[in-house]
């Protein structure tokens, strides 16, 4: 067993680059994988492969070790170097398999760290030999493990592990804040919408990947100071009086203080508190808390100011309707050089005119969304955070344990999708997931689901769903097409709406020009997202005349949007 290594050198990439050639010359291996283990020892993630050649890439960067049948499991249990040229190995009366059956020989070197007063395996360095046995033996590896070359590699690994867990801890804290937003405020999607628009602006500014990430995180946390304010103030629908306004202004100062503590261990995020403090400054100097103006306002603060205002204008609230795109553009032009940076105003007008959709911008580093599971007996949905990782995504929820079969049987899932609200529109992704464990779903890929051929437009419209002859509920349509509609209701106002083939409803839809259409149909699917319940409504027994009118409205709206570009 080797001792743990202290992180002496601060740049792991430089260590890898400097040490790798000597490391390979010493052991003459063909491929090296660096594995990080999750805290439950259920998943091993390859965070680096050297040399970085296609033929040496593992079939997946995520290795499921929950079945307890790999050589990695032996390393975790024994905390010792494993050297083997066996295709199957028996250990403690169990049968284990190598990582790569095509390798002539494999070496596994555990990386240990002190956790809670004892040494635990946090990762593994894997060495694969294609055509020959290594020069080094098991005993030599144990004896030479303190040599400078291998020591430097282990130092780099420890630094990488520390950064990995700091990042996980940071996202875990953000997940907690998301839950608080969801429980207390009506607009849990707001910070993620602001982050979406901010990163769209960042792309136009050609910011670096690090700046892009930092802006995204700052955008999500921009209103975190409201956690110190009364719920009734945050959710108030009436106009604020002077006392309300003064209290609300304090959220920028509260937010800056919270983020200082939140990002204490993350040096690259230390400036975010400054950004959050100033996201309500105005370009003309009439903002708060410090009355900064022009370029004295941090660039990220100016970006968030634009993105924050855009989401407010595009969002439908119980007490106000969202603005149309033409109204939004007119408002930005009116406030250019006053509330908003003129350069950023031009950028956002260009973005909302093009309505460009980008997968990375929609999801970002962390997003709030809803997972939909289809089983033979129906639909299940759960809300949580989607976190982008080095090799896919993780969906984390605090509401369910996926190992609990009383929720649903994982083996019976026939389909899985992810739904996000971004920029006033609803997007659905096909989910390719690797495994589910406790409150986490490990996702290998997300593919934006193409809109059905009859679906033509995301379009917020007002309407009513007729419950019976004497009762109706106001609802908001999210997208509309020739054979189906997606609409939502605020959950707190929701009456029972059945997802059943035999139940027929009628929707009354009012278009922008005042035309109203009555459409019969059935609810095919329903699920929750934040404080909303969303319904997919399929037309039944609709006349071709009504369908033609829907298409004419859609084509008219598309023409109007083209003129804005």
CATH number of the domain at 513, please: 2.40.10.220
148 and 220 share a domain?
no
In a domain, 49, yes or no: yes
pLDDT of residue 299: 96
305 and 324 share a domain?
yes
505 and 443 share a domain?
no
pLDDT of residue 9: 40
In a domain, 371, yes or no: yes
150 and 107 share a domain?
yes
In a domain, 485, yes or no: yes
pLDDT of residue 252: 95
pLDDT of residue 461: 85
CA neighbours within 13 Å on the CB side: how many for 532?
Answer: 25
Which of 355, 383, 409 corresponds to the end of one domain? 355
265 and 401 share a domain?
no
108 and 247 share a domain?
no
CB 362 within 8 A of CB 386: no
In a domain, 508, yes or no: yes
Structural domain for 560, as ranges:
455-564
pLDDT of residue 454: 45
Which of 289, 322, 355 corresponds to the end of one domain? 355
308 and 217 share a domain?
yes
pLDDT of residue 453: 43
242 and 312 share a domain?
yes
pLDDT of residue 289: 96
Q: Which residues pair with 382 in a beta bridge?
A: 371
Secondary structure (3-state) at 240: coil
Which of 419, 448, 477 corresponds to the end of one domain? 448
CATH number of the domain within which 436 lies: 2.40.10
CATH number of the domain within which 227 lies: 1.10.3210.10
Angstrom distance (rounded) from CA 178 to CA 162 = 24
pLDDT of residue 230: 85
pLDDT of residue 472: 82
Per-residue pLDDT in tens (0 to 9) along the chain, 565 residues: 344 434 444 455 565 566 566 677 777 788 888 888 877 777 888 877 777 566 566 666 778 887 788 899 899 888 888 888 887 888 878 889 888 888 888 989 888 877 777 888 888 889 888 877 766 665 666 565 555 666 677 777 777 777 777 777 777 777 777 766 666 555 677 888 899 899 889 989 988 888 888 898 899 889 989 888 887 887 777 788 889 899 999 999 999 998 887 765 555 666 889 999 999 999 999 999 999 999 999 999 999 999 999 988 887 665 567 787 788 889 999 999 999 999 999 999 988 877 666 666 778 888 888 898 887 777 788 888 898 877 688 898 887 888 887 776 777 888 888 988 876 677 888 898 777 878 888 888 888 876 554 445 777 788 888 876 667 888 888 888 888 888 888 766 566 676 655 688 889 999 988 899 999 988 888 888 777 888 889 888 888 888 888 888 887 887 776 665 5
228 and 374 share a domain?
no
pLDDT of residue 18: 63
CATH number of the domain within which 32 lies: 3.30.450.40
277 and 383 share a domain?
no
pLDDT of residue 8: 40
In a domain, 176, yes or no: no
308 and 208 share a domain?
yes
CB 357 within 8 A of CB 402: no
Cα-based angle 186, 187, 188 (whole degrees, multiple of 5) = 110
Q: Give the pair of three-digit tokens for residue 15.
A: 């260590």
Q: Which residue carries 């699920």 as its tokens? A: 527
96 and 211 share a domain?
no
Q: Any idea of the CA torsion for 378, 381, 387, 392, to the nearest 10 degrees?
A: 0
Q: Give the pair of three-digit tokens for residue 140.
A: 């030599």
In a domain, 68, yes or no: yes
Q: Number of structural domains, the chain?
A: 4
In a domain, 4, yes or no: no
pLDDT of residue 1: 38
In a domain, 183, yes or no: no
Centre a 10 Å sphere on the Cβ of residue 313 and count the other Cβ atoms it contains.
19
pLDDT of residue 346: 94
- What pTM was estimated for this model as a whole? 0.68
């Amino acid at each position: 067993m080797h001792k743990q290594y202290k992180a002496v050198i601060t740049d792991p990439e430089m260590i890898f680059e400097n040490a790798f050639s000597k490391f390979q010359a010493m052991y003459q291996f063909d491929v090296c994988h660096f594995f990080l283990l999750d805290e439950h020892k259920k998943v091993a993630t390859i965070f680096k492969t050297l040399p970085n050649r296609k033929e040496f890439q593992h079939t997946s960067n995520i290795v499921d070790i929950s079945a307890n049948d790999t050589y990695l499991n032996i390393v975790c249990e024994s905390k010792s170097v494993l050297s083997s040229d066996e295709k199957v190995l028996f250990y403690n009366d169990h049968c284990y398999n190598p990582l790569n059956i095509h390798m002539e020989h494999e070496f596994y070197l555990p990386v240990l760290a002190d956790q809670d007063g004892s040494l635990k395996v946090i990762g593994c360095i894997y060495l694969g030999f294609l055509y020959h046995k290594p020069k080094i033996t098991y005993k030599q590896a144990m004896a030479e493990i303190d040599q400078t070359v291998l020591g430097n590699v282990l130092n780099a690994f420890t630094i990488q592990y520390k950064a990995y867990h700091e990042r996980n801890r940071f996202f875990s804290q953000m997940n907690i804040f998301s839950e608080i937003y969801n429980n207390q405020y009506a607009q849990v999607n707001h910070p993620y919408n602001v982050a979406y628009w901010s990163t769209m602006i960042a792309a136009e500014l050609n910011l670096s990947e690090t700046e892009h990430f930092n802006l995204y995180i700052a955008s999500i946390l921009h209103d975190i100071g409201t956690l110190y304010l009364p719920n009734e103030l945050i959710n108030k629908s009436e106009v604020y009086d002077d006392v309300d306004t003064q209290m609300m202004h304090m959220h920028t100062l509260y937010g800056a203080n919270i983020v200082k503590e939140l990002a204490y261990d993350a040096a690259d995020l230390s400036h975010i508190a400054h950004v959050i403090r100033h996201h309500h400054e105005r370009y003309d100097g009439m903002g708060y808390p410090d009355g900064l103006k022009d370029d004295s306002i941090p660039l990220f603060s100016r970006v968030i100011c634009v993105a924050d205002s855009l989401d407010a204008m595009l969002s439908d609230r119980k007490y106000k309707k969202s603005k149309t795109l033409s109204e939004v553009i007119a408002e930005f032009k009116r406030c250019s050089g006053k509330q908003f940076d003129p350069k950023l105003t031009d950028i956002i007008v260009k973005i909302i005119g093009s309505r460009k959709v980008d997968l990375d911008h929609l999801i970002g580093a962390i997003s709030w969304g809803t997972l939909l599971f289809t089983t033979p007996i129906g639909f299940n949905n759960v809300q949580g955070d989607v976190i982008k990782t080095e090799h896919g995504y993780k969906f984390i929820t605090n509401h369910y344990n996926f190992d609990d079969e009383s929720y649903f049987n994982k083996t019976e899932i026939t389909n899985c999708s992810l739904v996000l609200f971004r920029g006033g529109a609803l997007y659905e992704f096909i989910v390719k997931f690797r495994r589910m464990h406790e409150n986490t779903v490990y996702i290998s890929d997300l593919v934006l689901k193409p809109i059905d051929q009859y679906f033509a437009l995301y379009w917020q419209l007002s309407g009513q769903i007729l419950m019976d002859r004497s009762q109706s509920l106001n609802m908001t349509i999210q997208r509309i097409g020739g054979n189906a509609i997606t609409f939502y209701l605020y959950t707190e106002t929701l009456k029972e709406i059945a997802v059943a083939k035999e139940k027929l409803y009628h929707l009354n839809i009012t278009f922008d020009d005042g035309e109203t259409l009555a459409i019969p149909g059935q609810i095919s699917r329903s699920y929750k997202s934040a404080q909303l319940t969303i319904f997919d409504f399929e037309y039944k027994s609709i006349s071709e005349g009504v369908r033609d009118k829907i298409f004419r409205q859609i084509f008219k709206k598309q023409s109007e949007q083209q003129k804005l570009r």
